[in-house]
Amino acid sequence: MADLLVPGDVVRQRWKIDKKIGGGGFGEIYGALDLVTKDSVALKVESVNQSKQVLKMEVAVLKKLQGCSHVCKFVSCGRNENFNYLVMSLQASNLAELRRSQPKGVFSQSTMLRLGFQILRSIRAMHEAGFLHRDIKPSNFAMGSSTDTFHSCFMLDFGLARQFTKGNGEVRPARGSAGFRGTVRYASINAHENKEMGRQDDLWSFFYMMAEFAIGHLPWRKMKDKEQVGKMKKAYDHHLFLKSLPPGFKQFLDHISKLNYEDKPDYKMLISIVEKAIAKKTIKESDPFDWEKM
Ligand code: ADP
């Protein structure tokens, strides 16, 4: 399908398209210049002809999360006869690109743990706002692009988010069966089984991400079929990942293994596991990340 925008196009007389920077499942992402503020921005656009419209949801969630420091700044949104669009702050490379750019395809423990700490806090913030992300994976996190944010990691893509609380803050009842959402490689076993996803499923995806950062790949990396990957995950002894992760991650794995849909994860404990591992390795916040050393 042809791109919805080309370099040089100007949206609503204000955002001048520079280049396409992503084309994911549901939309296209462009880097653009805000002709009013002169800021660099990102435009996410979705064709009005697309059967599955997710941008509205994404805008709603992004607006709700504006207090969170690990979320893109909302600039604007709107629609024309061809597409719906969302304008937000522009970040730099995503974590999938950064990992692949490393000579061995892995991150050092210093980089992995500092990213993990920020990511875990952004997951907690999202859950505290009443939403599940449901597509936690390295390409949905990007580093900041400005001098004050280049060491900050931002959570992207709320297209698959779901509110898991009711108006009064109680957890919504689980549906007996729900369609699969997310990305096969990072999906929890629960998600493979089409069960209603809960807070623990975002944490499972986080755990798989950390393992991939440390090892360079996940055991099911070559499999495409969702059912096959689900079977392999069920049979796999997840404690094998612990050989490549700091000791505290056993407690992390044990905790998320015990959680059911209604259960509130112990975020404080999980974050402190990562914090303690950072302290033990005498990692400094100001240390360069792996990609800054090359
Ligand atoms: P989709 O929902 O279509 O998969 P995403 O929101 O996941 O789209 O974005 C796809 C890719 O585009 C991301 O992996 C990231 O590299 C890039 N991207 C998305 N939003 C931004 C942003 N605000 N700044 C910089 N890059 C972004």
Instruction: List, for residues 163-187, the tens digit of each pLDDT value.
Output: 999 989 899 999 988 889 899 999 9
Q: What confidence category does residue 24 fall into, taking pLDDT thresholds of 50, 70 and 90?
A: low
Helix (H) or strand (E) holding 58: helix 55-64
Rg of the chain, C-alpha, whole Å: 19
Query: Nearest-5° angle of CA 215, CA 117, CA 63?
Result: 120
Q: Is 183 in the pocket of ligand 1 (CB under 6 A)?
A: no
Of residues 135, 157, 201, 290, which has the active-site annotation?
A: 135
Helix (H) or strand (E) holding 202: helix 199-215
Rounded Cα gap, residues 49 and 53, in angstroms: 9
Rounded Cα gap, residues 24 and 149, in angstroms: 24
**Which ligand 1 atom is at minimum distance from the Cα of 27?**
3
**Which ligand 1 atom is at minimum distance from the Cα of 72?**
23
Q: Which amino acid, residue 3?
A: D
Once rounded to an integer, what is the mean pLDDT over residues 101-122? 97
Residue nearest to atom 8 of ligand 1 (CA): 24
**Which ligand 1 atom is at minimum distance from the Cα of 159?**
2
Pocket test for ligand 1, best of 15, 157, 158, 205 (most atoms within 8 A of CB): 157
Distance 257 CA to ligand 1 centre (A): 30
Q: Is 25 in the pocket of ligand 1 (CB under 6 A)?
A: yes
Helix (H) or strand (E) holding 270: helix 267-280
Rounded Cα gap, residues 86 and 161, in angstroms: 16
Q: Is 160 in the pocket of ligand 1 (CB under 6 A)?
A: no
Of the candidates 55, 85, 57, 87, the residue with the CA atom closest to the CA atom of residue 74: 87
Please give the pLDDT value at position 265.
98
**Tens digit of each residue's pLDDT (9 = 90 or more) over 48-94:** 998 888 999 999 999 999 999 999 999 999 999 999 999 999 999 99
Q: Residue 84 phi/psi, 5° resolution?
A: -95, 145
Q: What is the largest CA-CA distance in the chain?
A: 56
**Is 237 a residue of the active site?**
no
Residue of 2 and 73 predicted with greater confidence: 73
Tokens of 11: 């949206």
* Cβ(220)–Cβ(185) below 8 Å: yes
Q: Which residues of 256-287 are buried (b: 16+ CB within 10 A; e: fewer)?
A: beebebeeebebeebbebbeebbeeeebeeee
**Which ligand 1 atom is at minimum distance from the Cα of 135?**
7
Which residue has 């398209």 as its token pair? 17
* Cβ(246)–Cβ(278) below 8 Å: no
Rounded Cα gap, residues 200 and 203, in angstroms: 5
Residue nearest to atom 12 of ligand 1 (CA): 22
**Tens digit of each residue's pLDDT (9 = 90 or more) over 271-289:** 999 999 999 988 888 899 9
Q: Please state the pTM of the whole predicted model.
A: 0.97
Q: Which residues of 55-84 are buried (b: 16+ CB within 10 A; e: fewer)?
A: bebbbebbebbeebebbbebbbbeeeeebb
Residue 47 has pLDDT above 90, yes or no: yes
* Cβ(249)–Cβ(210) below 8 Å: yes
Residue 25 has pLDDT above 80, yes or no: no
